[in-house]
A and B are shown apart, each in its own frame.
Chain A
Amino acid sequence: MENSFMIEVADLVKDYASYRALHNLTFNVRRGEIVGLLGRNGAGKSSTMRILSCFMPATSGRAKVAGFDVFSQADEVRRRIGYMPESNPLYQEMRVREYLKFRARLKGLSRAASRSRVDDVIEECSLKEVSRKLIGHCSKGYKQRVGLADALVHEPDLIILDEPTSGLDPNQIRAVRQLIKDLAKKHTVLISTHILPEVEMTCSRVLIMEQGRILADDTPENLQSHMNPDGLVRAEIAAPAEALDEWFSDWAEVKAHDIAVGDGDFFLCSLTPGNGADLRPEVFARCREHGWTLRELTRSRFSLEDIFMQVTRTDSREDEH
């Protein structure tokens, strides 16, 4: 039976000379998932990725990729992964197509297969206009895409990308993120980043890492709903203040409310629901009924940033005690 886990990591420990980078790390990644490793610099993301890509072994513990052990079956694992290290190192003196062909041949593709795959990835990563340029002369965005194309060229089962968007301008970041999203249709992807919106935008699951441990493991949506069960609703309504006050007070589902004076006829209302219900449809319906102007209606949610802060803060407090 085909193993349903692409990555299995159990009790992984990595010691560098004087400190422990990974503390008994355990997690699994299923086939087809896009998982984001989120953490500050030095949280152990790159160490985890280097172990999974067979660049260095763990001190203890077990890690498997596609059912193969990264230490004893490194060759099988390497064939199945496409890895782009953090700094995206490339041979600057080679031409884009030449480099991709070299990498394809290195990864065991036949001459004919490497030619057609290189054509494919050049198309996929929109590298056509620079395919004959020296890599050293390409812009950073193109270089990043060359790195991605290299990771893809042998059609690996698992793609590991270490901070794929670092150092790019906003347009390039958007292009690279879109590319990563497209990859998810065919591959399992593990990406690391310290940029929170990136995870929110691209990943189906988030692992928050701090000091070599996993602090949270869930979908971005679940993390948000766990952290913010109340679902505070904000609305800007142009209506008599008394009417609003009366309405909110009588409304059984509203646990607490606050009305502040906004500009013009508008009032800024914040409503805290009692049982996690979504109040927005009702607010809209009532405004329409009374002909009040509704200018804004949002349900505030914690961003991953807040969650990240909250999770990592709890941890450091535990450490102190």
Chain B
Amino acid sequence: MQAFLTLVRREIGGYFTSFTGYTVLAVVLLLIGLSFYSIVDKLNGSPTPIPVTEMYYQTVYFWLILLLSAPVITMRSFAQEKDSGTFETLMTAPVSDQQVVGSKFIGSMIFYGIIWLPLLACTLILRSFIDVGAAFDFGLLVSTGLGIMLIGCVYISMGVFASSLTRSQVTAAMVSFALGVSLFMASFLGTELAASDTLLNQVVKAVNLQQYMRGFATGVIDTRPIVFCLSATALFLFLTLRVVESRRWK
């Protein structure tokens, strides 16, 4: 456990001693700021019954942040270690492969959580200016946060997996971006295919991330998206573990 916590601390520390970490923070802050502006703009226009969290989800910024930040956050996790050779010193320390993969994932998730914090601040600012309590239900905030973190788990584990495949951070980011966009695009496909009911259609519909997120943003905590996100995360972490172990059977 001590080794695991030490590794997680070093992971998080790594973001704050690297240029990448601050770049991600700055870009995400900009995007959240833009989304904040667009929400304020909408609220100024006409009265709306939609909760602010759902309005936020409807802006493109949410997906943009998710699709862009996850690959950049995770690209260094294994690729950099392999490239600089520190992978060897890391793997010859008394730590298990599971601890290493777990710490990379948890470290990235914590940083991912940190980059979303400005959104919370935006919501609180809006709340202090608008006098409608129902628009800022506490439960809504929690379910939206849960959705952001759960879908984040999928994207971050995907990124960690991509990073474990290569020693080039750029390649890692590209692979993870391609995987992420494909998964995201499956949602559109699912909506289009809704008519027929073949097995393939059912599968495609089952990975409808947009629908899942809409559910969370409107305060619906369904078990299906939770099961989907957690199992997808487990799958990618398992694959990462196999890749890390592969040095033993190569």
Contacts and interface: CB of A to CB of B under 8 A. Distances in A.
Contacts of A125: none
A75 interface: yes
Contacts of B2: 105, 108
Band of interface residues on A:
20 to 34
B248 A150 contact: no
A89 B88 contact: yes
A93 interface: yes
A18 B88 CA distance: 23
Nearest to B5: A105
A103 interface: yes
Contacts of B14: 91, 93
Interface in B13-30: 13-14, 17-18
Contact of B247 (A55, A81, A103, A108): A55
A84 B17 CA distance: 24
Nearest to A151: B89
Nearest to B93: A106
Interface string A82-110: 01110101111110000000110111100
B247 A56 contact: yes
A145 interface: no
B128 interface: no
- Chain B at the A interface: mostly helix, strand, loop or mixed? helix
B81 to A, nearest CB: 8
A54 interface: yes
Contacts of A57: 248
A93 B92 contact: no
Nearest to B6: A105
A85 B7 contact: no
B89 A102 contact: no
B18 A102 contact: no
B248 A85 contact: no
Contacts of B87: 89
B6 A93 contact: no
B85 interface: yes
Given A85-B89, A105-B2, A93 B94 contact: no
7 contacts: A55-B247, A89-B88, A91-B84, A92-B84, A93-B17, A94-B17, A105-B2
Given A75-B94, A87-B85, 20 more contacts: A53-B92, A54-B92, A55-B91, A55-B92, A55-B247, A56-B247, A57-B248, A78-B92, A83-B89, A84-B89, A85-B88, A85-B92, A89-B85, A90-B86, A92-B84, A93-B17, A102-B9, A102-B10, A106-B6, A106-B94
